[in-house]
Amino acid sequence: MNSIPAPTIEYGTLAPLLVVFGAAIIGVLVEAFAPRYLRKAIHVPLTLLSLAGAFALVLVQVLRGQVSTTASAVGALAVDGPSLFIWGVILVLSFVCVLLINDEGHFVASAAAVPGSADEEEAESAGGGHTEVYPLVLFAVGGMLLFPASHDLLMMFVALEVMSLPLYLLCGLARRRRLLSQEASMKYFLLGAFSSAFFLYGTAMIYGYAGTVSLPGINQALARGAALDPLLMIGLAMLGVGLMFKIGAAPFQAWKPDVYQGAPTPITALMASGTLVAAVGAVLRVFWVGLGNLDWNWRPVIWGVAALTMIVGSILAITQTDIKRMLAYSSIAHAGFLLVGVMATFGTAEQNASSLKAILFYLAVYGITTVGAFAVVTLVRDPGGEAGHLSRWAGLGKRAPMLAGVFAFFLLAFAGIPLTSGFFGKYAVFAAALDSGTQPGDSMGGWMAALVVVGVVASAIAAFFYVRVIVLMFFSEPSADGPAIAVPSMGTVTVIAVSLLVTVGVGLYPESVLGVADDAARSLFIR
């Protein structure tokens, strides 16, 4: 009678995950066995098809109405409506990021060669390249899918590592400015390792308090147990640090500008969109599901973090002179706006669903605009690589009016100007936050309104630096030796076109995405 019962695995529900991980493992085998000249030809279709296939499997589940209402894989995963929406968004974003990755010239020929050495030159002239970026990306994407769908803290930790480790590596693979890239990789790895340790330590503390790592289990323990137990408080703080690090909320934002600047731009795009989406999903799950009964306790803390993040992100962005660093600070500010939405919790499920809808919508539209913006960044080049310094962008509107126009539109979307998708995202989270503050008996009350005012002030500050880039591009005269505009590949054109279409389309008719987000959010998280 000592036999271990076989766990039930819902293969159908988990199929998108399995496809991505399966393809990643096949990718590793390809690296091991396929000849060098064939590898890219195998990787590209494999990666794209697996991502598309996983997306199709997500769609099938949604369209058939088979969204599961119970936890899968013996309570380790929750593939509920919000998870499926986030999966869909991540898969679309990573698909377009892979199109960017395909472009020549982003990745180093031989990462192990010392920058500027003869080895490097040799590898470059031999046309070498790191084709393992494809399986690495697939593993990272798999981790991103797993992260927001984890139903217990251990699973979430595993997902965090699966997502982060490939990204640490990918950050160090930039072809140009390799020292900057390696520095970024190192910083990201060290700080990321710290934050993972915090997360794990917090998990242990909470296990000590609740006797379980399962999120609903923790919530039930909270309903019964003492709310001011030191174990719980320490655990909550540690867990929070780990999660806030991943979304880049202040005061844990310091890695973002360095890493975003140093990493190869397609990888930056993946991190700025996919990782952020996944991390916000995980934040929601931990705070809403796991700590739902403690919201009067964490909401004031998140209030401070959100306000600080918005202000720090938008003020420090003003002083930036590098386009990727500026976008990194912009991403920090947006993380703050998303946290405003995370705070919009209510007493009733219906109202919670409406704030969840707002956050999901924000994630989808922000992610796609971000990828588009980084795709444009890859095209503006100097002899030494991308023209990162803002002064190099002066007069771009005259040299390449189409490209500059598209980029200006993306910036206006980030700034949240009406008739772009970004406006409705911002509106949705602010509306949810104000709504929750006006509910009778809400623990934050007027503080929510104050937070929204902080949010709009931060938006106004942020608008300044977005507009500054537009001024540079359109109202300044181009310099004689301005950057070259690379002829975009089909892949890059597709990425920019898709991003633009979504940003414009959702800006004019947001109901298209809102409706989907509404369906996804209505079921709320599995508890």
Partner 1 sequence: MSPWLPILMAVPVVGAIVVALLPKGSDKLAKQVTLLVSLLVLVLTGVMAAGFKPSGERFQFVAEYDWIPSFGVKFGVGVDGVALVLIALSAVLVPIVVLASWHDADGVKTADGTLITPKRSVKTYFSLLLVLETMMIGVFAATDIFLFYVFFEAMLIPMYFMIGSYGGAQRSYAAVKFLLYSLFGGLLMLVAVIGLYVVAGSKTFMFPELVGAIQDPTMQKWLFGGFFIAFAIKAPLWPVHTWLPDAAAQAPAGAAVLLVGVLDKVGTFGMLRFCLELFPDAAKTFTVPIVVLAVISIIYGAIVAIGQTDMKRLIAYTSISHFGFIVMGVFAMSSVAQSGAALYMVNHGFATGALFLAAGFLIARRGSPFIGDYGGVQKVAPVLAGFFLVAGLAGLSLPGLSSFVSEFMVMIGTYSSQAHGSGALTAAAIVSAVAVILAAVYILWMVQRTLNGPTAEPVKPFKDLNAREVWVLAPLVALIIGFGFFPKPLLDVINPSVQQTLTNVGVPTSTIAEKGTGQ
Q: For binding to partner 1 (CB under 8 A), which residues are involved? A: 357, 397, 401, 412, 415, 417-419, 423-424, 427-428, 430-431, 434-435, 438, 449, 452-453, 456-457, 459-460, 463-464, 467-468, 470-471, 474-476, 509-511, 514-515, 518
Q: What is the smallest separation between the CB atom of 306 and partner 1, expressed in angstroms?
A: 16
Closer to partner 1 by CB, 11 or 475: give it. Answer: 475
279, 243 contact by CB (below 8 A): yes
What are the backbone angles phi and psi of residue 6, rounded to the nearest 5°? Answer: -70, 135
Smallest separation (angstroms) from partner 1 to the CB of 313 = 16
CB of 435 to partner 1, least distance (A): 5
User: What is the DSSP code string of 346-376?
Assistant: -SSHHHHHHHHHHHHHHHHHHHHHHHHHHHH
| Closest to partner 1 by CB, 94 or 354 | 354
Distance CA 315, CA 318 (A): 6
Residues with Cβ within 8 Å of 393's Cβ and at least 6 positions away in sequence, in order, are: 323, 380, 387, 469, 472, 473, 483
Alpha-carbon dihedral angle through residues 157, 163, 164, 167, given to the nearest 10 degrees: 180
Shortest spacing between CB 422 and partner 1, in angstroms: 12
Distance CA 262, CA 225 (A): 46
Q: Least separation, in Å, of the C-beta of 257 and partner 1?
A: 24
Helix (H) or strand (E) holding 467: helix 446-470
Which DSSP category does 485 fall into?
Answer: E
Closest by Cα among 328, 228, 246 to 284: 246
Pull the structure tokens for residue 226.
């003492």
When the beta carbons of 236 and 506 are compared against partner 1, the nearer one is 506
Chain centroid to Cα 351, Å, comes to: 25
Q: How far is the CB of 509 from partner 1 (least distance, A)?
A: 8
C-alpha to C-alpha distance for 398 and 130, rounded to whole angstroms: 37
Instruction: Please say which residue, 223 or 460, places its beta carbon nearer to partner 1.
Output: 460
CA angle 379, 382, 387 (to 5 degrees): 65
| Nearer to partner 1 (CB atom), residue 126 or residue 471 | 471
Closest CB to partner 1 among residues 186, 434: 434
CB of 401 to partner 1, least distance (A): 8
CB closer to partner 1, 457 vs 524 = 457
Least separation in angstroms between CB 65 and partner 1: 20
Smaller CB distance to partner 1: residue 149 or 316? 316
Contacts of 388 (CB under 8 A, 6+ apart): 261, 322, 323, 324
Q: Which residues pair with 214 in a beta bridge?
A: 152
Containing 183, the helix (H) or strand (E) segment is: helix 178-210
CA distance 379 to 497: 14
Q: How far is the CB of 450 from partner 1 (least distance, A)?
A: 10
Q: Nearest CA to 410 among 311, 494, 517, 502?
A: 502
Cα–Cα distance for residue pair 491/109, rounded to 1 Å: 21
Q: Smallest distance, Å, CB 159 to partner 1?
A: 31
- For residue 115, is the peptide bond before it cis, meaning its omega torsion is within 30 degrees of 0? no
Distance CA 508, CA 420 (A): 7
Question: Toward partner 1, which CB reaches closer, 132 or 518?
Answer: 518
By beta-carbon proximity to partner 1, the closer residue of 143 and 425 is: 425
Question: Which position has the token pair 């898969």?
Answer: 91
In whole angstroms, what separates CA 242 from the centre of its chain? Answer: 15
Q: How far is the CB of 387 from partner 1 (least distance, A)?
A: 20
Q: Which is nearer to partner 1, 60 or 419 (CB)?
A: 419
